[in-house]
């Protein structure tokens, strides 16, 4: 049984995420998580709200681990967590009072090597386009600066590298969830190449307007 923390965003394996806990049921959850092995599941809320329940949740998520935490008030916590590996939810269980589920690890299946060349070409194109709009758009300027930072995936296996590459791009929750659910690293990289192509097309239209 896994304690679950549904979010309005996607946590990828290898990513860090800060969390603020203030809802009473999640305060109870993290009291128990921190007294145990400090792990819990994170899934995307597809419809609904992070607060109050009644949401619709994705079936594939990420096991997270609390790396650091600070109490910020009565039954309130500030947490720094990291994604460990993918999980799939086999069954949602009754809340106690926080969400719980039966989960299992979801490893990548063996596959072909990812097309890193195509991905790096798209990243460079996106960076150049963001730079063209930077004078009039602060967000684009920040994105261009971010994408200009060198990336190095050497020393990582293809699964780790594909998740890092996803994290290194300005993708929305739907595209990040698609990458999370991809069966293997090559499919994941193909998915994010397609997502960046969509971003490039939308940005060209925006710059021409």
Q: What is the DSSP string of 85-130?
A: EEEEEEEEE--SSS-EEEEEE-PPPP-PPP-HHHHHHHHHHHHHHH
Per-residue pLDDT, 10: 96
Closest Cα to residue 40, out of 94, 90, 98, 91?
98
Beta carbons within 8 Å of 115's beta carbon, 6+ residues apart: 186, 189, 190, 193
Closest Cα to residue 15, out of 168, 193, 183?
168
3-state secondary structure (DSSP) of residue 141: helix
* Tokens coding 74: 């009565």
Per-residue pLDDT of the chain (209 residues; tens, 9 = 90+): 999 999 999 999 999 999 998 888 999 999 999 999 999 999 999 865 554 555 678 999 999 999 998 888 788 889 999 999 999 999 999 988 999 999 999 999 988 899 999 999 999 999 888 887 655 677 777 888 888 888 888 889 999 999 999 999 999 999 999 999 999 999 999 999 999 999 999 888 877 76
Overall pTM > 0.85? yes
Report strand pairing: 39-47 vs 60-73: antiparallel
CA dist 5 and 196 (Å) reads 29
A 10 A CB-CB count for 94 gives: 7
CA dist 15 and 163 (Å) reads 9
Beta carbons within 8 Å of 199's beta carbon, 6+ residues apart: 126, 170, 171
Per-residue pLDDT, 57: 87
């Amino acid at each position: 049984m896994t304690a679950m923390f549904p979010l309005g965003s996607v946590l990828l394996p290898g990513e860090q995420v800060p969390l603020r806990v203030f809802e009473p049921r999640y305060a109870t959850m993290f009291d128990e998580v921190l007294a145990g092995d400090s792990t819990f599941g994170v899934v995307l809320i597809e419809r609904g709200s992070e607060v109050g329940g009644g949401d619709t949740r994705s079936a594939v998520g990420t096991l997270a681990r609390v790396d650091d935490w600070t109490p910020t008030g009565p039954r309130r916590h500030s947490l720094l967590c990291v994604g460990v590996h993918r999980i799939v939810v086999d069954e949602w269980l009754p809340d106690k009072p926080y969400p719980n589920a039966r989960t299992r690890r979801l490893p990548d299946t063996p596959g072909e090597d990812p097309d890193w060349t195509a991905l790096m070409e798209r990243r460079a194109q996106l960076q150049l386009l963001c730079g063209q709009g930077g004078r009039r758009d602060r967000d684009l300027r920040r994105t261009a600066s971010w994408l200009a930072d060198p990336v190095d995936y050497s020393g990582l296996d293809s699964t780790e590298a594909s998740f890092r590459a996803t994290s290194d791009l300005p993708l929305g929750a739907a595209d990040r969830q698609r990458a999370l659910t991809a069966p293997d690293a090559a499919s994941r990289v193909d998915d994010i190449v397609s997502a960046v192509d969509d971003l490039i097309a939308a940005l060209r239209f925006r710059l021409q307007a």
